[in-house]
Amino acid sequence: MSVRREQRYRVAAIQMVSEPELAPNLAAAERLIGEAARAGARLVALPEYFCLLGRHETDKVKLREREFAGPIQEFLAGAARRHRVWLVGGTLPLECGDPARVRSACLVFDSTGRRVARYDKIHLFGFSRGAESYDESRTIEPGTERVALESPFGRLGLSICYDVRFPELYRAAGEIDVWFVPSAFTATTGRAHWETLLRARAIENLAYVVAPAQGGRHANGRQTHGHTMIIDPWGEVIARQAEGEAVVAAEFDLDRIAQARRELPALQHRKLR
């Protein structure tokens, strides 16, 4: 079934500084989604770990939900319905076959609250420098399938945080109009690479990139980079927020994508597949 597209619409990326408890995070997300909707956003995206950035890596395992059941999924569906927006739900922990790990899942809901897509994070972050060390594979089971979906806002592609370092994921998905990268980049890696990687994915794919982020000092001592960004198909940053809670919004025009691809038909010039 074909989907009628809106040529022009408003998009919002939400920046958060999530806490180790679920309730205040859901309350903050509700408030920020509402703010975005009142400002005219039709498509809203939450950051990675919007529902919990725990004191311990295993906290998210304790919070895991069965697919299609649980307070986080109910919140996302309800928020999309209440505010009449399409909602890209950051990430939440879903059960997997390993009781010691979860799938880090990005769920998308339409404006009626119906779930229309699920993407499980494929690439799991690992980093070690001095006292700073991360290994997501200890508590997350990787996904295996790339996900794209048709929507009134064009063809949407889903990725999560560390995925942004793997351009083959994006290029192999074909022609995508809007890529989402909900993230919780560390301050260390974010300062060095965040903007460069996001702009590269937009430029390579001649697509909009929406990157809602965690941005601040968390109760577990972690400092996330923030700098939520929205980037146009030419690689220009058209909206951003450095730190703290915020709604970062921009107007999208699907004709801008078509124009960029006419002027620079790089996607048609590919030789290696």
Annotated catalytic, 161?
A: yes
- Beta-carbon count within 10 A of 135 CB: 13
The secondary structure element, H or E, covering residue 65 is none
**What is the DSSP secondary structure assignment for residue 35, as one 8-state letter?**
H
Rounded to 10 degrees, the C-alpha dihedral 169/202/136/104 comes to -80
**What is the DSSP secondary structure assignment for residue 84, as one 8-state letter?**
T
User: Which residue among 35, 48, 65, 95 is the active-site one?
Assistant: 48
**What is the DSSP secondary structure assignment for residue 268, as one 8-state letter?**
G
The secondary structure element, H or E, covering residue 30 is helix 22-38
- Beta-carbon count within 10 A of 267 CB: 14
Closest CA to 226 of 210, 244, 209: 244
Distance of alpha carbon 92 from alpha carbon 22, whole angstroms: 11
Q: Amino acid identity of 258?
A: A
DSSP string, 74-91: HHHHHHHHHHT-EEE---
Annotated catalytic, 48?
A: yes
- Rg of the chain over CA atoms, in angstroms? 17
The answer to whether the beta carbons of residues 247 and 12 sit under 8 Å apart is: yes
User: Which residue among 51, 96, 106, 161 is the active-site one?
Assistant: 161
The secondary structure element, H or E, covering residue 169 is helix 167-171
Distance of alpha carbon 82 from alpha carbon 78, whole angstroms: 6
User: Which residue among 106, 121, 136, 141 is the active-site one?
Assistant: 121
Which are the catalytic amino acids? 48, 121, 161
